[in-house]
Structure 1
Amino acid sequence: MTRDENWTVLGSRRTRYRFFEIVQEEVKTFQGRTVEMEYARMPEGVCVLPLLDGGRAVACIRQYRHAIRSWQWELPAGGVDAGVEPLEMAKRELEEETGYSAAAWTSLGSFYPSFGSTDQLIHLFVAEGLRSGQQRLEAGEELDVVEVPMETFREMVASGELRHGAALACVARWWAMGSGK
């Protein structure tokens, strides 16, 4: 046995909801034990760090999030539609949520936000050379676009005011790659 092997799935039940599916599986572990596992199967996602004014500001979103009953600071993000490449979805989300389009895009790779409870993979991007346009919000989206100076944005990250997991991963990856010093 190597640690690259998977547990054996003995049985599976799925309950479908609008944006995700709950999967309940009976699995056999490496030690031969049978256990129940549950996780949320979700579509892949994207998150965009939109840089304004040559990186001196960030186009942030302030959006109401009902699950936690509060307004939160975020970066443009969303799910990837079936058959759509992550970069194309990132471009669409940026324009829909902020009204901006970008001249230059950089991939920052991807990450799993919580692989103990979901199989979702989120792709991260930086958008530069922004041009303003018209916001096209989906039904149920209520958000404000705020141009945040980079110094203030750094303070929001450091203080915990920015709590959007995908945004934090995007910023961490961007800073770790030597950008946004």
Structure 2
Amino acid sequence: MSVWKNLGEHTVYENPWLRVNLADVELPDGRHLDHYLIRQRPVALATAVNENNEVLLLWRHRFIPDSWGWELPAGVVEDGEDIEAAAAREMLEETGWRPGPLRHLMTVEPSNGLSDARHHIYWAEGADYVGDPEDAFESERREWVPLKDIPDLVMRGEVKASNAAAALLMLYHMRLA
């Protein structure tokens, strides 16, 4: 079995969101290389599917790639916070909808060649509207999108985030396929 071994690493940059580390990596053939990596806190995501088989999504702009797309409400899990509670909190803050009982859908590693980030994705059968979202600035709009439209949205590139694409296609498969 070919295993890369991390023989040690040190931090070259740090802020409240991430750490950039430099690792001494031993390759299976014994050679060494320096490898930069990003250490990140866990991320929690949540959405809901209503009685009409519509899924609650955010339409938002991401300034780094300068692109628009459908996403799931998401955010960093605070220190000591339960991951499921963080997912529910993020959904409420970003959409104004409180999810019903959450179910774990999947955990993904969106960039595991560069980062140790883990995104924990939850979903609920239904949600209750509480009011305007606290973090409305995070999206242009919040909509209930027909689950049957998800494969086409992904194919057209309207769901750009890998975590959202994986989760939405899984929900589509579970509910409609």
Q: Which among 145, 158, 173 is matched to residue 155 of structure 2?
A: 158
TM-score normalised per structure 1: 0.85
**Code of the aligned partner of 2:84:** L
Deviation (angstroms), 1:18: 3.9
Distance in 2, matches of 1:51 and 1:124, equals: 14
Deviation (angstroms), 1:85: 1.4
Deviation (angstroms), 1:143: 3.4
Structure 1 partner of 2:18: 20
CA deviation vs aligned residue, 1:10-42 (integer Å, no higher than 9, x gap): 442331134211111122233221110111111
Structure 2 partner of 1:180: 176
TM-score normalised per structure 2: 0.87
**Code of the aligned partner of 1:82:** D
Q: Are 1:23 and 1:40, in contact at CA under 8 Å, matched by a contact in 2?
A: yes
Deviation (angstroms), 1:8: 4.1
Q: Are 1:60 and 1:147, in contact at CA under 8 Å, matched by a contact in 2?
A: yes
Distance in 2, matches of 1:11 and 1:117, equals: 14
SS in 2 for 1:47: strand
Q: Note the residue ranges of structure 1 that are not aligned, 5 or more in a row.
A: none
Deviation (angstroms), 1:55: 4.7
Is 1:117 equivalent to 2:106 in the alignment?
no
Aligned CA distance change for structure 1 residues 107 and 8 (closer, same or farther; 3 Å): closer
Q: Note the residue ranges of structure 2 that are not aligned, 5 or more in a row.
A: none
**Code of the aligned partner of 2:119:** I
Distance in 1, matches of 2:9 and 2:145, equals: 49
Is 1:101 equivalent to 2:98 in the alignment?
yes
